[in-house]
Chain A
């Protein structure tokens, strides 16, 4: 019987330090087993559980595009036990990977439509995968106008700087970068992502919006998109919940009758509104994102 809990092995080929505070690194992994590579067919927006043997597992969205075979890329922010160990690893080290997990972005319904990708901070990795996928020669013609709005706190915290250069030179992509606090030499926007989205005012006709980032950013971006005329069925979100098994069994990421890991992480705003109001908590609107490990009160 197929065992969904046992990871296959991948080797670290390249490590790119993405941010000036060295808190986020992107790991390029290659498949140790050929058979695993053939089986690993994924779409942008899906994620995988990375195993650091002895420390545990953690979920990461694929930052690489499926159009580039043989390699998977994951951006890892150094924040806990597993990520701490990953940041200590070097080229040639081996990790376990389980996946692809989750549903990924609905590429079929995106076809022939314009796309507005709104990303913030660390949540941009799956949007990078989606952008590179769409820009690839084999699929660019299937999609309409592409607008990417990506923000971070400071210029030094923007991920994938090389991609951003390539994208800036592309004519068929409107790139808007923003930072909360500008610095000298910074030409992009200065301001929060929701305000920049309102300024850019992408045309909602025949268009889908995809929002991925910290709950607070989602919470303030959604009303802007609705203001601009994007309907609930045209806005997609990638939700963030604590995950462990990734296959809808362990109960951790259960919101309403859905499991974020298996039925998501990508949901349309329409699907979310049908779930219990707890689903909206995912958009950070609990008001008190309590840093609270209160054991019983």
Chain B
């Protein structure tokens, strides 16, 4: 079902993106100050493709931090509701990393399922994901240990691999057909194909296998009340960095913003690390301190999601490892838990 691989020369990338920008919204890594972020681009010159990974994950394109669910006007005795319509013009997520593409896979499962979220599912349907394989992963990356890999194609529609002066483009599914039909793509020759295989094999080597995951799910069940959690989480500040930058974290809050008789119900990101997440009106909070909240994040990603969504809630992108102000390393936490002892 996937179309044959082709070549995209780097010199012709700009013209390909130029055409793409005409008909669709193209989101790609751009540099803002010293930080690389995924933003909509107006011109190909903004795109930066030599980058370990963006600071924020591309989930913010399909599941933005603030999204209007509906507008309303409400007066005495009557009310009207109206739902925003998504732009028909499709989106392209260009140049995102395989781990983030894999993150979208989990979001598809969570927001899909029996009771579908029309906002996410609507955007996702007309979005083409073009992922770019990693040839030089960060020391904090551990996608291999989470079932992914620097050249994994999961969650992606068109997979690009940098082999020097060109990219090898592999169509993963029919969604990439329209893009691959563009004339900047050339037939794949033997020599480039061999080069691609070599790069693929080498890409995983620099990433030392870090996380022992086999017996993790049973250990987590057994360790739920183990005092090891107190030591593991004592330095945690309870901020929202790890959940907001995570490509698979999807928890949100619903609230109204109103002025006079009109207003809107919006969805905003929320974090299980914040105390109000489970604070009940009676004052009782089942997760009153940082220990329970940090444990919930680990349990949800490595025990509950594998059971309900058949894949862990972590793709090993390493953002929470590099960005945690107190360097609480999820790899160490998971490794020590799967061995059943404290750090």
Contacts and interface: CB of A to CB of B under 8 A. Distances in A.
Interface of A: 1-7, 9, 11, 51, 53-58, 79-80, 83, 92-94, 96, 214-215, 240-242, 244-245, 247-252, 254-257, 262, 276-278, 281-282, 284, 286, 288-297
Given A242-B278, A252-B278, A4 B283 contact: no
A290 B288 contact: yes
Interface string B282-301: 11111011101000100110
Contacts, number: 151
Nearest to B272: A251
Given A2-B118, A247-B115, A292-B275, A214 B238 contact: no
Given A1-B116, A248-B115, A56 B254 contact: yes
Interface stretch (B13-21, B144-152, B302-310): B302-310
Contact of B81 (A96, A214, A242): A96
Interface residues of B, number: 63
Nearest to B82: A6
A241 B286 contact: yes
Contacts of B238: 295-296
A257 B78 contact: no
B165 to A, nearest CB: 44
B282 A294 contact: no
A5 B119 CA distance: 10
Interface string B23-44: 0000000000000000000000
Given A93-B76, A250-B254, A286-B286, 12 more contacts: A5-B254, A6-B83, A9-B81, A11-B77, A55-B256, A94-B74, A214-B282, A248-B115, A249-B115, A250-B253, A291-B284, A294-B275
B254 A292 contact: no
Contact of A250 (B72, B118, B251): B251
A278 B286 contact: yes
Given A292-B275, A293-B276, A1 B79 contact: no
Contacts of A286: 286
A92 B79 CA distance: 12
Question: What does DSSP make chain A's interface, helix, strand, loop or mixed?
Answer: loop
Nearest to A259: B308
Given A1-B122, A4-B115, A244-B254, A215 B284 contact: yes
B300 A289 contact: no
A115 B299 CA distance: 36
A15 to B, nearest CB: 15
Nearest to B306: A257
Interface of B is mostly: mixed
Nearest to A284: B284
Contact of A53 (B79, B119, B289): B79
B81 A94 contact: no
B280 interface: yes
Contact of A96 (B77, B79, B275, B300): B79
- Between A7, A240, A242, A286, the greatest number of chain B beta carbons within 10 A of the residue's beta carbon is seen for A242
B188 interface: no
- Please indicate which of the listed interface residues A80, A83, A281 has the most CB atoms of chain B within 10 Å of its own CB: A281
Interface in B102-122: 110-111, 113, 115-119, 121-122
Contacts of B300: 251, 254
A6 B77 contact: no
The 9 closest A-B pairs by CB, nearest first: A296-B238, A54-B258, A251-B251, A291-B283, A53-B74, A292-B288, A257-B304, A289-B284, A247-B115
B254 A2 contact: no
Contacts of A291: 283-284
Contacts of A56: 254-256
B248 to A, nearest CB: 11
B246 to A, nearest CB: 12
Contacts of A93: 76-77
A79 B289 CA distance: 23
Contacts of B225: 277
A249 B76 CA distance: 32
A79 B281 contact: yes
A149 to B, nearest CB: 22
A94 B79 CA distance: 7
A214 B116 CA distance: 32
A6 B281 CA distance: 24
Contacts of B117: 4-5, 249
Nearest to B237: A296
A295 B83 CA distance: 35
B51 interface: no
Contact of B254 (A1, A79, A215, A245): A245
B110 A249 contact: yes
Contact of A94 (B78, B224, B255, B280): B78
Contacts of B78: 94
B233 to A, nearest CB: 11
Contacts of A53: 72, 74, 79, 256, 258, 263
B314 to A, nearest CB: 15
Contact of A295 (B69, B251, B275): B275
A250 B224 contact: no
Nearest to A274: B221
Given A245-B254, A257-B307, A295-B275, A6 B81 contact: yes
A279 to B, nearest CB: 10
B270 interface: yes
